[in-house]
Structure 1
Amino acid sequence: MLFLGSILVASLFSTCAFGRSGDNCSPATKTFKQKVDHIGDSREVFQQQYQVIDEYFHPGGPIIFYQGGEATDMICLHDLILPTWAKDLGALAITLEHRFFGDSKPNNHANLTKRYETLNLENVMQDSAHFIKWIKSTVNGAENSTVIATGGSYAGYLSTMLRQNHPETFHGAIGWSAPLRGFGYSKSNSHLYDWYRAVSNIYREHSAEAAQKIKHAIISLQDSIKKMKSSNDIEALASRYNLCSTPQNASDLSAFLETVEDSFSQNTQLSWGANAPILPGRKGFPLQRLINTTLSASSYQEIVNASLSLLFEGNRCVDWTDTNGTYVNNELLPYQYILCTYVPIVNPGIPNGTIFPAHETPIDELIASCQQTYGISPEDGKLLEEKHHYSAADLNNATRLFLTYGGIDPVMSYGAVELLGRVANIPNGAGVAILSQAGHAEDMSAPYPGQRKAFEICRIRS
């Protein structure tokens, strides 16, 4: 499987990538001419997709800008909280599709290194800044509007970067579930094992009994897989767990076990309330449903099946060969490139002491994959923090930056939680809120029954 490590990482951090075709958004999306490279002298342009909701806008009102992320399809504004805010604030709600995703493709060169050579953080930020400038010049009454950037997950990281690196354009930012720590393909990365520590703690805090049964279930599955490796008796696995295909060798069996572990992770991270519009086809509260099933289960197979069936809900079978595509609608190649460059989030290892079998992070394998696939090596995480102004010191001095994290979302372990409970020593200092029972970026979605949000309206004043 190509780039297995980053495929798993993509599944962990791109869960805000659900969307619809731009043709289905209302109002309909449009495109405008964007520079292919803001850094160089090239005059090449491409068509970049955007959407505007102006029905609530009062001249001079603010602009709420949703920064697009790694979605294959456009995330329509009406699936988000932005129209609710716009109505309350008399604001203009806008969104811009991320370059190289969806319909916004600067080029499609066969050579991946050449294709993505303009896919860097500065170009992505300049896309947004140039779009804001264009919006202000074309929308009556918006010339002097203040701009608040917002986004979820990777797009939450980007909205933070916009405020930190382009404060002349972005007056403030709200980041939902933004990963800002844990970067760097190095064994010195202090966050290498934080993800599964967080997942394990979530289960233990919700039910110590269920957590212990899950631990025994995975150990039993692991023992069963070891026996299958030695006896070559793996035919029964496909029917036992409703797999789309039968593993053929030891590597396949290991991949299946990773899918199982990932399912328990995703069923915490994606535990949103009922009828969440941005998670189509997925029923609400999978974490609680999984815990309830686990407590009543009489076998380890029942527990494993429960986790897989909740994760692959709506699918006829469990596709263990495609852990990302079954439930996250994103484009892997450009996102993998991003993971190899300015967002080097490492595929998490599992330490001793959790409810999951311990294993190391394959750092050397991941670096080799970046080099082989794109001809590049990941940058150092600490250097990136300094370069793009999101180190602990930078965020401690940041202004008009508000970050939220879900209490049952493992991304919180990669969040800037050092700001939690901090008393700002500067006016309008940065802050963090934790939503105790919320999933990944749950509060970015349009209001729906059962939703848990940090706020209905967030005002960032000068």
Structure 2
Amino acid sequence: MWDIAENLGAMLIFAEHRYYGESLPFGQDSYSDSKHLNYLTSEQALADFAVLIRELKSSIPGARLSPVIAIGGSYGGMLSAWLRMKYPNVVVGALAASAPIWQFPGMVPCGDFYKIVTMDFAKSGFDCDVNIRRSWKAVDNISSTAPGLQWLSEEFSLCAPLKNNQDSIGFKAWLQESWVNLAMVDYPYQASFLQPLPAWPIKAACKHLSFSSAVSDYSLLRGVSEAVKVYYNFTGNTPCLNTSQTATGSLGFLGWYYQACTEMVMPMCTDGVQDMFEPQEWDFQAFSDECHALFGVRPRADWAETAYGGKDIRSHSNIIFSNGGLDPWSGGGVTRNMSDSLVAIVIPDGAHHLDLRYNNERDPPSVRAARALEVKYFKEWITEAAAAA
């Protein structure tokens, strides 16, 4: 968008989603209880954007007849698609990058997400996924004694030492999220979207995880420690690793968790066979109970399908769904054309919304081609809008 806005004579507008950043409807009380959080919904956010666009068109000289294209990545990509679906009178088209609009109950298998994470590691180094799968048992073995817990804490440079079995469970969850985040940001050049990282960071991590099955638990976890530090300490400036924080903290985690606890119910599961993680079934009731304990609310499992049409979206038009082959969220994305104007673009070498990033000399040909195709559609939508005006 940075490059093409100037080419198309366009203005870029960034609208902050209610309840995120500084857009707090009730100030410091916005997150105080479910009564104040009640207005945190995607539908309300979409209405905000529709009102904002109308206001901008009426107040910016020359903008009244300008066509508007919605662009977003991840949850923002979902909103872009839904904005076109719900307000076709407001936006002429949408680019929904890495938008998992089908990552909802009954739409895609709950294990697809973690299968893609595993595939990324499997092809990035010899037995990389195999050794991560073996590491969970190694953590259990070593954390079963007090000296083992101390060794793990020191080896991983943890800010707070592991003290008991509950801590080791949390430690494994932290490791799992670290591998997921690496898969999301497996970009072909140095980047700092979630953390400062090297080019192709999974390959960099897998260099520490490519060894034979005969290696000891301690040697295996030394490799895991070096691999995870590619993610958390690539710069070498991090004095210790905090397992209670992940690199997604700055992305408004609490707000998103509330939305997941109400309308954004996204089933995830692992089986330890087709993926490299410990088996964990999707348990809606347990999730619902956790939401109730946290926020006093219960999730509406089928609301996203009711509100946005689920997989039956063929009546809509002018939406590009782009997905990276390396991105685990592509498992819940639209990866095939639904009609002539509901178009899917798959970028085999792309991680999470790579096509929305600045052009880079190390971009793979597949993302360059995707961007060119996206611009082609943009120009068609603009031409159509001008003809209809």
Q: TM-score, normalised by structure 2?
A: 0.86
Specify whether residues 280 and 265 from structure 1 end up closer, same or farther in structure 2 by C-alpha distance, changes over 3 A only: closer
For residue 335 of structure 1, what is the amino acid of its counterpart?
W
Q: Secondary structure at the match of 2:346?
A: strand
How much does 1:233 deviate? Answer: 4.3
Q: Distance in 1 between matches of 2:201 and 2:360?
A: 17
Match of 2:296 in 1: 375
- Of 268, 271, 285 in structure 2, the residue corresponding to residue 351 of structure 1 is 271
Alignment of 1:7-406 (within 5 A): 82-107=1-26, 108-109=28-29, 111-184=32-105, 191-207=109-125, 209-225=127-143, 227-228=144-145, 233-276=148-191, 278-279=193-194, 281-295=196-210, 299-313=219-233, 314=235, 315-323=238-246, 326-346=247-267, 348-353=268-273, 354-381=275-302, 383-389=303-309, 391-394=310-313, 396-406=314-324
How much does 1:336 deviate? Answer: 1.4
Specify whether residues 198 and 171 from structure 1 end up closer, same or farther in structure 2 by C-alpha distance, changes over 3 A only: same
Specify whether residues 277 and 207 from structure 1 end up closer, same or farther in structure 2 by C-alpha distance, changes over 3 A only: closer
Q: Distance in 1 between matches of 2:190 and 2:277?
A: 30
Q: Secondary structure at the match of 1:392?
A: coil
How much does 1:360 deviate? Answer: 2.6
Residues 102 and 311 in structure 2, CA contact (< 8 A), matched pair in contact too = no
For residue 295 of structure 2, what is the amino acid of its counterpart?
Y
Residues 126 and 211 in structure 2, CA contact (< 8 A), matched pair in contact too = no
Specify whether residues 332 and 211 from structure 1 end up closer, same or farther in structure 2 by C-alpha distance, changes over 3 A only: closer
Specify whether residues 285 and 251 from structure 1 end up closer, same or farther in structure 2 by C-alpha distance, changes over 3 A only: same
Identity %: 21
Q: Secondary structure at the match of 1:95?
A: coil
Match of 2:358 in 1: 446
- Give CA deviations for 1:145-185 in whole Å, capped at 9, x if unaligned: 1111011111111111101111111110001111112324x
Q: TM-score, normalised by structure 1?
A: 0.73
1:437 aligns with 2:363: no
How much does 1:277 deviate? Answer: 6.3
Residues 195 and 413 in structure 1, CA contact (< 8 A), matched pair in contact too = yes
Q: Distance in 2 between matches of 1:201 and 1:285?
A: 14
Residues 443 and 451 in structure 1, CA contact (< 8 A), matched pair in contact too = no
**Structure 1: where are the runs of 5+ without partners?**
1-81
- Give CA deviations for 1:240-262 in whole Å, capped at 9, x if unaligned: 11111112221111110111222
Q: Distance in 1 between matches of 2:154 and 2:86?
A: 52
How much does 1:130 deviate? Answer: 0.7
Specify whether residues 275 and 232 from structure 1 end up closer, same or farther in structure 2 by C-alpha distance, changes over 3 A only: closer
Q: Distance in 1 between matches of 2:95 and 2:70?
A: 6
How much does 1:433 deviate? Answer: 1.4
Q: Secondary structure at the match of 1:149?
A: strand
Q: Which has the higher strand share?
A: 1
Match of 2:387 in 1: none
How much does 1:280 deviate? Answer: 6.1
Specify whether residues 132 and 277 from structure 1 end up closer, same or farther in structure 2 by C-alpha distance, changes over 3 A only: farther
Residues 176 and 444 in structure 1, CA contact (< 8 A), matched pair in contact too = yes
- Give CA deviations for 1:341-362 in whole Å, capped at 9, x if unaligned: 221224x331141222212334
CA RMSD, Structure 1 to Structure 2 (Å): 2.3
Q: Distance in 2 between matches of 1:277 and 1:350?
A: 28
For residue 345 of structure 2, what is the amino acid of its counterpart?
A
